[in-house]
A and B are shown apart, each in its own frame.
Chain A
């Protein structure tokens, strides 16, 4: 794999649900150490696209390439085994289970052999605690239920878990949409950390303000079609927002855009 080969690449992927065209010839490539923001309004096909990448759906047309090779995932587990970890918005954690049990869910470390084989809880607790510490969350008791954590902390546990288990591609499905400002920034900070560890991050959101601070490139979907991929240098917030909305409700949008240019101008002056 040459350095320029994308970690994950899709070419002309289409997905149909009966007569509905959910995705139409969408292409996208994400490299290691890059945060790709997948932007789009509701119904733009974001969810379908990431479900295709994570093995929940299979594409009806087009190809998915992982490290340059054609791949077809039968299940999320398939994708996971290759190193494509998806953190779904609400489904990442079981609130009634402890942090440790969640962290190692499905991949429990074991000790002993034969009938005495058991879940290595000591090691698991210690690992969960230290991995959480790395992302700046001090969990005194990793056996406390995940339900006691805040929404942002839960997302961070899910991301930390994916990173710990050697994910090469991290797909985050609207990790910040249900969060308050400070919690969202906690998650954004951790996304930047994941990039620093040379992961390929696909960050799905419909919030441009969350996408801009961490994104390197932006792919914008609208009604199942891609408007293309743009580097951060080439587009402004306004362009992105305009493409996401797809020319709808333009009057309302223009007001919003004016507000942005005003605040940006103020910021520029202050800087």
Chain B
């Protein structure tokens, strides 16, 4: 995907170098460079390429029917939610490898109390958020206090949380899959915020106008927008606003760009990082809450490898592994590429094994591309 983009950027650079003889023109070059240095560029062009590709090969498969769109949007949204958290944290210069395990853990914290101890589900959802943010706080605190790479600290929590999830659910319920959440979620005030749909009248109307398909029983093929998509869009907006338009956003860039320089001018780097660790944990819990209520069950294996997918989406979105640079919008497009390709492979009937090959290659291209962009941004110095 990014190949074409990379080539384009190189061409521009060459043209610029050719005329960079006076001061006036050096400024011009910098402006052109800054255009090319938009972090989202790679992900957006990649998204366009992926869409063009699947519109050509899969337009007759139902992938772009209302149902199909909701399908890949849902997959993208799930990943997008954690990619947003991972992206902000990466820009601040840290990783969280415990996101996937946190999804499984939070799912169980929601499911077990409500199905086995008769708690209202809203209480267990709130408790899951409290637990998750506590773990995020501990993650952050250990990283800050020890100065160890967050890669190692959160890798430890990847195992600790997964182990706790399996161990505790066996201990408390004698199984690793807890079902029956649909029943306890019924009538709850908070559950529909995560597991429901919105906009049903619109879809009924669209079906009556024959804009979208209708099922044989007269119901529209799509009865609403799943809440997970709504969460994704809201989080994308809020996180992007936070990053680009607020003081805290500037602190995120500064913490990841150069923590020492940031501290020297009084940026509360530790607080920023700890809050963002709590943020990724909260994002993982939103993911888990949507999934548990949607599926009606929690599985201790849920969220496996999701931490890496989230990081991949953020990297495709232009975030640098070394921090200080990246974009929430880019990460969302990274997640969209993910969802479209994953479901597109399903729709076109290609063996899904190829999905991971594609992912790996795309990650590699994105990293090489980003590295190149960073050199442009820092003027090769």
Residue A92 at the B interface, CB < 8 A?
yes
Residue A163 at the B interface, CB < 8 A?
no
One of A94, A140, A161 near B254 (C-beta < 8 A): A94
Shortest distance between the CB of A155 and any CB in chain B (Å): 13
Residue A145 at the B interface, CB < 8 A?
yes
Please measure, in the bound complex, the distance between the C-alpha atom of A30 and the C-alpha atom of B85, giving whole angstroms.
Answer: 48
Shortest distance between the CB of A85 and any CB in chain B (Å): 9
Please measure, in the bound complex, the distance between the C-alpha atom of A140 and the C-alpha atom of B25, giving whole angstroms.
Answer: 12
Shortest distance between the CB of B303 and any CB in chain A (Å): 30
CB <8 Å contact, B264 and A91: yes
CB contact list, B169-226 vs A, under 8 A: none
CB <8 Å contact, A147 and B377: yes
- What 0/1 readout, one digit per residue, does chain A (21-45) give for beta carbons within 8 Å of chain B? 0000000000000000000000000
Count A interface residues, CB 8 Å. Answer: 33
Residue B262 at the A interface, CB < 8 A?
yes
CB contact list, A78-109 vs B, under 8 A: 80, 86, 88, 91-97, 101, 104-108
Give the residues in chain B near A105, CB-CB below 8 Å: 250, 254, 261-262, 265, 267
A93 and chain B: residue at smallest CB distance: B261
Known: A119-B245, A119-B249, A141-B30. A97 touches B265 (CB 8 A): no
Say whether chain A's binding surface is mostly helix, strand, loop, or mixed. Answer: loop
Residue A251 at the B interface, CB < 8 A?
no
CB <8 Å contact, A147 and B381: yes
Residue A121 at the B interface, CB < 8 A?
yes
Give the residues in chain B near A97, CB-CB below 8 Å: 250, 253-254, 257, 324
CB <8 Å contact, A108 and B257: no
One of A76, A77, A96, A104 near B257 (C-beta < 8 A): A96
Shortest distance between the CB of B245 and any CB in chain A (Å): 5
CB <8 Å contact, A92 and B377: no
Question: For chain B, which range describes its interface: under 10, 10 to 19, 20 to 34, or 35 or more residues?
Answer: 20 to 34
CB <8 Å contact, A101 and B250: yes
- What 0/1 readout, one digit per residue, does chain A (156-175) give for beta carbons within 8 Å of chain B? 00000100000000000000
Give the residues in chain B near A91, CB-CB below 8 Å: 258, 260-261, 264
Give the residues in chain B near A151, CB-CB below 8 Å: 381
Interface window among B31-39, B74-82, B285-293: B31-39
Give the residues in chain A near B261, CB-CB below 8 Å: 88, 91-94, 105
Residue A265 at the B interface, CB < 8 A?
no
One of A76, A95, A141, A143 near B263 (C-beta < 8 A): A76
Residue A117 at the B interface, CB < 8 A?
yes
Residue B247 at the A interface, CB < 8 A?
yes
CB <8 Å contact, A141 and B34: yes
Say whether chain B's binding surface is mostly helix, strand, loop, or mixed. Answer: helix
CB <8 Å contact, B33 and A96: no
One of B251, B260, B378 near A147 (C-beta < 8 A): B378
CB <8 Å contact, B377 and A110: no
CB <8 Å contact, A104 and B378: no
Shortest distance between the CB of B273 and any CB in chain A (Å): 15
Residue B379 at the A interface, CB < 8 A?
yes
Shortest distance between the CB of B256 and any CB in chain A (Å): 8
Residue B147 at the A interface, CB < 8 A?
no
CB <8 Å contact, B264 and A119: no
Please measure, in the bound complex, the distance between the C-alpha atom of A107 and the C-alpha atom of B30, giving whole angstroms.
Answer: 26
Residue A118 at the B interface, CB < 8 A?
yes
- In the complex, 23 of the A-B residue pairs with CB atoms within 8 angstroms, ordered by the A residue number, are A76-B263, A76-B266, A80-B265, A80-B266, A86-B264, A88-B261, A88-B264, A91-B260, A94-B253, A95-B377, A95-B381, A96-B320, A96-B324, A97-B250, A97-B254, A106-B265, A107-B265, A107-B266, A118-B247, A119-B246, A121-B245, A145-B37, A148-B379
Chain B positions near chain A (C-beta within 8 angstroms):
27, 30-31, 33-34, 37, 241, 245-247, 249-251, 253-254, 257-258, 260-267, 320, 324-325, 374, 377-379, 381
